[in-house]
Amino acid sequence: MNTQKEENFTQVCVWPACIVGTDKVSDFKQFMFREFKVRVQYLEEIKTDSDKDSQGNPIKDTGARNDLFFAVHDKDVGKFAMARLQYGIRWLEDVLDKENYQQIIYPPRVYDYKCWKE
């Protein structure tokens, strides 16, 4: 089940290969404010599924990467848009775009986090 986004936290981000842990959420929020001057809401961490071959079989040594999902306050999105790139943080809509999302590595429910219209 997805974490409910708080009001004014609509832009969801994915930080690949980032581990925070539910016991360090406060530290994560402080880091994001200190580093980027943005307010964030920690949503969850998801272990990626394995890539699949053309027959749908899991590819060895893929998957199980820990990806962090979090939302940025609406008023902070503009100043975060460029700064996030140096850390490899991506907008969820870019991650899930049909051109980019060739391997299904997240549970389908992550589409419910989206803030864009199709």
**pLDDT tens digits along 12-63:** 999 999 999 999 999 999 999 999 999 999 999 999 988 888 888 888 888 7
Residues 59-93 have pLDDT tens digits of 888 878 999 999 999 999 999 999 999 999 999 99
Per-position DSSP letters for 2-49, written without gaps between them: PPPPPTT--EEEEETT----GGGHHHHHHHHHHHH---EEEEEEEEPP
Q: For strand 11-15 and strand 90-91, is the pairing parallel, antiparallel, or unpaired?
A: antiparallel
DSSP class of residue 94 equals H
Which residue in this structure is represented by tokens 């989206």? 114
Cα dihedral across residues 33, 106, 93, 54: positive or negative: positive
Full-prediction pTM beyond 0.85? yes
Structure tokens at 67: 């990806």
